[in-house]
Amino acid sequence: MRGIECKRGPGGLRCTAHRRVPSSAIPADFALPTSPAHTPSAAIPRSLIPPAVIPAKAGIQCLLPGRHREEAQRRWIPAFAGMTAVLLGLFAATATQAATPTASTGPAALFPPVAPAAPIASTAAPAPIATADTRAYDRIVDDVVARYRLPGLAVGVVEDGKVAYVRTVGETVAGSGHEITPQTLFKIASNSKAMTTALLGRLVDQGKLRWDDPVTKYLPPFRMHDPWVTANMRVADLLTHSSGLPEGGGDLMLWPEPNAFTRADIIHGLAYIKPGYSFRSQYQYDNLLYVVAGEVAAAAGGAPYETLMRREVFEPLGLSRCQVGAWDRDAVGDVAQPHGREHGRNVVVDADGAQIPAITSAAAGGIRCDLTDMLSWARNWLVPTPAQLAWLSPAQRQVLQSPHMLIPVSAQRRAWDNAHVMAYGYGWRMADVDGQWNVWHTGTLNGMYSMLSLLPDRRSGFVFLINGEADDARTVLGEMLTKHFTAPGEARDANWYADALEREARQRPAAARMPDTSSQRPATAAELAAWTGNYRDPWFGDVALCPRGDQVHFSAAKSPTLAGTVMRLGDRYLVHWDSGNLDAWLDFHPASGKQPVALRMAKLDPQGDFSSDYEDLDFQRTGSCRP
């Protein structure tokens, strides 16, 4: 087997790196030993390790273009070698500790097979059983809702394959009296990614697609900034956040909504987004390539992404409430609206109209589901029925939820969860938590937060959906629900975690905090006369900075909510958006030689959402404002 081959001997687990790089998908039958009684040798498939890691320099020479090799060998081989050792150690420890009388030496070494269980009904979750554990869940939920004053929440827990707890709190619209139910639709945001990768896995099972196929086989116009990367970008590379795109690179073509960017615009614009790091050398989260993956699915499947998602995922699994593409809000009914915090109150932001339009970002984060369907989705992974195993093969399930790109473990995760390794699969994150394997993902959109978390070895997990600003609330609720399984005797409560997050925020250096804008004032047209005009970025398109009365107004041609007034703060300029989006610094650079006046932007709040990727814009002035 290509990649790393490991054999257990008297001295422990010994692993050997092979030089050859595989040309196909992960073998379906890889195994790790789970006890001395099992086969004493096993191989970890090469795709479990990031392509730039194994085989060390030989792999780098094969995979990276010449100008990236030296940097990769100097910077990344030592770092990834250490993380690879940790990953291998975890695999070995997990294989030893997780032994059970019925353990398998096949793909179940990380995700053991389970006895088939009947799926829950697609229209209603089973009634929870009133036990001491459900009362413990109630305390967790009550504490988090009270601490963060959430407008609405739906949460469900699966224990040993069965739905053990369902709880809904609050309203679809704060103050409306319309209570959230298990059938209330929420935006699941980036939890859509796992549905997109499942769709791709279906196409692989059907022989219509291979993970190692070049992207250009399906999308000939596809281009990255580096021609070598374009030629070597596989379908799998679209899914692991290791393409070279900077974190959130190009996300301004997706959000804020509404905007006029199409999927064709994204495929065209990728060529102009400068890489933030070498191809396959590290993890940096992106969304655009999941949109591209959705278009690959459409090309391979012979139908639009939305049609395929309904036909290949929603319908076979009975996810009858999940929505993608265009739909009628009132005909579907029971739809939660996103909220923000304003003057201590929950207020609706980005409210839906009667007709929900199809959106460009669907494959990356545009699906909506209710709690009932999300619990069905979770159980499909934890306790798949024979029909569900026929829907998506065990081999492809293993591919999706295996580590493909290492993620650095944060100090917080190390301290809270005793985590040693973290990785990204295809649409899933994974890590060890208190010695147990955890597979999960989160979803974040303006005013909507979600989390789906699985503990495969326990056939357990949870999902929750929130219709409010809930960054810290999601962290705390997710941690408390996880600890219910992994560290049930832990004394820390929700307030302990919330206080810890607040302390961390207060301790950030001044450069990492939002500046005080209380002294800002509108910039005058006279003081900005040297900088006003029309500007163009090669992927974002045209913007105008033009006088409006005695002030200067910023407007983006394809993103109408990115419109606002230019302000002065000290000796710098910024744009304050009319819509309440994350404000941005404006830095002007004079013309030089043949280079026209240039404009660069940056987030006013360094901790702001990375999808406001102003830093990736490179505007050049193209002309003067019209009189």
Would you identify the CATH topology of the domain 521-623?
Answer: Lipocalin (2.40.128)
Q: What pTM, to 2 d.p., does this model score?
A: 0.82
Could you tell me the two tokens for 151? Answer: 């407008």
What pLDDT is attached to residue 39?
Answer: 29
Residues 232-282: tens digit of each pLDDT: 999 999 999 999 999 999 999 999 999 999 999 999 999 999 999 999 999
SS3 of 441, please? strand
Beta strands in 266-393 (DSSP E): 327-328, 339-342, 345-348, 355-356, 368-369
Which of 265, 286, 266 has its CA nearest to residue 275? 286
Q: Are 386 and 397 in contact (CB under 8 A)?
A: no
Between 163 and 489, name the one with better pLDDT: 163
Phi, psi of 44 (to 5 degrees): -90, 120
Joined tokens for residue 116: 């088939």
E-strand spans in 10-134? 12-17, 41-45
Residues in CB range of 214: below 8 A, 6 or more apart: 231, 232, 233, 234, 235
- Is the confidence at residue 618, as pLDDT, over 50? yes
Tokens matching residue 512: 């990492």
Burial category of 256 from C-beta neighbours within 10 Å (exposed 0-12, middle 13-18, buried 19 and up): buried
312 vs 36, higher pLDDT: 312
pLDDT at 161: 97
Position 114 scores a pLDDT of 34
Nearest to 279 by CA among 107, 26, 64: 64
Residue range 404-418: average pLDDT?
A: 97
pLDDT value of position 508:
86
Please write the tens of the pLDDT for every residue from 199-222: 999 999 999 999 999 999 999 999
The CATH code belonging to domain 132-244+279-506 is: 3.40.710.10
Q: Which of 306, 424, 441 is nearest to 361 (CA)?
A: 306
pLDDT at 474: 98
CB burial class (10 A; 0-12, 13-18, 19+) of residue 595? Answer: exposed
Task: Decide if 188 contacts 369 (C-beta within 8 A).
Answer: yes
Residues in the chain: 627
User: 535 and 620 in contact (C-beta within 8 Å)?
Assistant: yes
Q: For residue 571, what are the contacts with CB-CB under 8 A and spacing of at least 6?
A: none
Confidence of residue 128 (pLDDT cuts 50, 70, 90): low
Which sequence spans correspond to the domains of the chain? 3-109, 132-244+279-506, 521-623
d(CA 219, CA 233): 11
Give per-residue pLDDT as tens, 437-490: 999 999 999 999 999 999 999 999 999 999 999 999 999 999 999 999 999 989
Q: Which residues contact 79 (CB under 8 A, 6 or more apart)?
A: none
For the chain, percent of residues with pLDDT exceeding 70:
79
Sequence letter at residue 274 = K
Three-state secondary structure call for residue 598:
strand
For the stretch 72-127, pLDDT in tens is: 333 333 344 444 444 444 444 443 333 333 333 232 332 333 333 333 333 344 44
Average model confidence (pLDDT) across the chain: 84
317, pLDDT greater than 90: yes
Q: Which residue has the tokens 């407008």?
A: 151
Residue 38 has a pLDDT of 30
Among 128-142, 301-315, 505-519, whose mean pLDDT is lowest?
Answer: 128-142
Dihedral angle, C-alpha 586, 505, 462, 491, nearest 10 °: 180
Residue pair 172/182 in contact (Cβ under 8 Å)? The answer is no
More confident residue, 510 or 132: 510
Instruction: Say if residues 528 and 545 touch (Cβ distance below 8 Å).
Output: yes
Both structure tokens of 460: 């357990």
% of the chain exceeding 90 in pLDDT: 76
Helix (H, G, I), strand (E, B) or coil at 547: strand
Kindly tell me if the per-residue pLDDT of 493 is higher than 90: yes
Pull the structure tokens for residue 56: 């060390």
Tell me, what's the pLDDT at 131? 59
The yes-or-no answer to whether 132-244+279-506 and 521-623 have a common fold is no
